Amino acid sequence: MANQSVRLKEEQLRREEEKLREIELKVQREIQIKRQELLAKEDSLKVLEARLGVSTISRSRVRLIRSFAKRNVMILTSVP
């Protein structure tokens, strides 16, 4: 009886572990998608900057926004 209880608990733990792995993979995919979106937006912004000849002050603001966005991505990627 005790062995059966232990086996049931182990099986339950294996199922929960598999669910957690699936969640982790889903979150990693979502982070990768967000990272790609951010890179695409940065590229688009660079093109616009070049077209408009953005001033030095505006470029500083853009760098600040990029830095903030990258920190947010880094925070997301560091979540266990």
The count of structural domains within the chain is 1
Q: Which domain holds residue 35?
A: 2-77
Residue with tokens 């929960």, as numbered in its chain: 16
How big is the chain by its Cα radius of gyration, in Å?
A: 22
CB 49, CB 62: distance < 8 Å: yes
Q: Does the predicted TM-score (pTM) go above 0.85?
A: no
pLDDT at 12 over 70: yes
Band of the pLDDT at 62, cuts 50, 70, 90? Answer: confident
